[in-house]
Amino acid sequence: IASSDLFKGKRSVIFALPGAFTPTCSSTHLPGYEKHYEEIRKLGVDEVYCLSVNDAFVMRQWGIHQGLPLEDKDASNPLNPGNFKNVKLLPDGAAAFTRGMGLQCTWSSERGFGERSWRYSAVINDNKIEKLFIEDGKVTQNHGPDPFEVSDAGTMLEYLRSVKK
């Protein structure tokens, strides 16, 4: 699936994280967006996507482990049926989207991850970035602590409320 197919003619929220099954990603980042999914939608967002440099099998199992409701009928989103009803999980196994965003990082010595996505969130409006929140304001290689201040659901909600027409 091309990213242009996901974002064309829609206003979408995407948030990216270093990895499925990792502590902050599993305890706070994904659960926050899933919890606030309906409110985000009411603020003029058509879709919410979670992206990680993991393969599709890992992302699916992570979503199931997180208790995300499965979508097995509706085919209105190119990822369904077979993904999830609310927050859709986007595997970026080869880091192609992540590199295209210029937000790839390597945590080889710090966590042994290799190439991953830096943590960020964005509003993409009809294939154009409307707003971008990047942790620490820049990508840092082998970053020690895992920054999580601006890509969370709360920050996204504040932004969406501030621009609601």
pLDDT per residue over 12-47, tens digit each? 999 999 999 988 899 999 999 999 999 999 999 999
Q: What is the pLDDT of residue 110?
A: 64
How, if at all, do strands 11-17 and 47-52 pair? parallel
Q: What is the DSSP letter of 135?
A: G
User: Where residue 164 falls among pLDDT bands split at 50, 70, 90?
Assistant: confident
Cβ contacts of 142 within 8 Å, gap of 6 or more: 106, 107, 108, 109, 110
User: Distance between CA 160 and CA 34 in Å, rounded?
Assistant: 16
List Cα–Cα distances, 24 to 3, 55, 63, in angstroms.
26, 19, 15
Catalytic residues: 25
Q: What is the pLDDT of residue 107?
A: 75
Give the chain's mean pLDDT.
93
pTM of the predicted structure, to 2 decimals: 0.94
Q: What is the pLDDT of residue 94?
A: 95
- pLDDT tens digits for range 129-163: 999 999 999 988 877 777 999 999 999 999 999 99
User: Distance between CA 53 and CA 111 in Å, rounded?
Assistant: 15
Q: What is the pLDDT of residue 150?
A: 97
